């Protein structure tokens, strides 16, 4: 394995392998993989609809959970331009996938790219829960996404197009809530979906920021963790390989498990100890 010096690792004794040395195949997304990533969130919504009308109430929270995982995975890849989408396709993909959970995909892109650029520095609203206690991160849940949206809105004051997307996404969420309340005269399905989506979003600061990043160090190798295993990583569509994602954000989620395997010798040499889960 060839090794390339990376100035971002100057605070550690390790040098990060170049992506070319690890394998250029890690950045490849096939048409089938792209379609699967984009369709999976909508399949989860369809599962919710079928479960609701079939009377399988116990299945609806599971369906929403699957939507959450699928949306987080695909928006990660869309934000980092890992799916091979055009600029216009990217904008619509952010809107559509975020709308499934009444969120702003464009706010996520703006804040997430900032997170990658400055963490653990200041003015990183996405990374703030990493500096909170466990319970403070839990209590931060209801205000996390609104704060990200407002930060993105202020940051994009010079971009009419981005503000238009942000406004459209906010209006869609508000409009969905209004429609869901009105149609309770005929069905409670949309209302229940909206409630589950809203409650589910409250765990974002805990699960996607605090737990992966807490007790972070000065080196990029110490700023987040990686969870390896068979069941949990597969269930979360490889999002548990958070350290690998931060080191190589240009690798799509469907290759993170393989990237992690190829990084094993480097991690061992650098003293990085992955956390193992089922």
- How many alpha carbons lie under 13 Å from residue 138 in its C-beta half-sphere? 3
Q: What is the pLDDT of residue 14?
A: 61
pLDDT band at 82 (very low <50, low <70, confident <90, very high): very high
Query: If you average pLDDT over residues 184-191, what whole number do you get?
Result: 96
Q: How far is CA 160 from CA 62, 106, 155, 164, 165, in A?
A: 38, 13, 12, 6, 9
Torsion of CA 223, 66, 91, 145, to 10 degrees: -60
* pLDDT tens digits along 197-233: 999 999 999 999 999 998 888 888 888 989 999 999 9
Largest distance between two CA atoms of the chain: 65
CA distances from 62 to 47, 90, 161 (A): 9, 28, 36
Q: Are 260 and 244 within 8 A, CB to CB?
A: yes
CA–CA distance, 68 with 41 (Å, rounded to integer): 8
Question: pTM higher than 0.95, yes or no?
Answer: no
């Amino acid at each position: 394995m060839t090794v390339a010096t990376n100035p971002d690792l100057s605070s550690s004794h390790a040098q990060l392998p170049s992506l070319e040395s690890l394998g250029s195949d890690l950045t490849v997304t096939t048409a089938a993989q792209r379609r699967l990533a984009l369709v999976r969130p909508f399949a989860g919504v369809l599962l919710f609809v079928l479960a609701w009308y079939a009377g399988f109430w116990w299945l609806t929270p599971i369906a929403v959970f699957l939507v959450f995982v699928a949306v987080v995975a695909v928006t990660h890849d869309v934000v980092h331009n890992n799916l091979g989408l055009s600029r216009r396709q990217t904008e619509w993909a952010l809107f559509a996938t975020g709308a499934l959970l009444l969120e702003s995909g464009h706010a996520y892109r703006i804040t997430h790219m900032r997170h990658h650029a400055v963490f653990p520095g200041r003015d990183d609203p996405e990374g703030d829960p990493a500096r909170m206690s466990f319970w403070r991160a839990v209590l931060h849940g209801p205000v996390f996404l609104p704060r990200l949206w407002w930060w993105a809105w202020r940051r994009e004051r010079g971009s009419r197009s981005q503000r238009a997307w942000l406004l459209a996404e906010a209006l869609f969420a508000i409009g969905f809530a209004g429609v869901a309340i009105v149609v309770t005269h005929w069905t409670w399905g949309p209302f229940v979906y909206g409630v589950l989506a809203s409650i589910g979003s409250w765990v974002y600061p805990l699960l996607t920021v605090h737990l992966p990043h807490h007790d972070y160090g000065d080196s990029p190798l110490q700023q987040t963790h990686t969870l390896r295993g068979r069941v949990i990583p597969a269930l979360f569509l490889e999002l548990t390989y958070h350290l690998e994602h931060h080191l190589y954000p240009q690798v799509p989620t469907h290759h993170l498990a393989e990237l992690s395997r190829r990084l094993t010798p480097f991690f061992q040499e650098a003293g990085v100890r992955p956390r193992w889960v089922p």
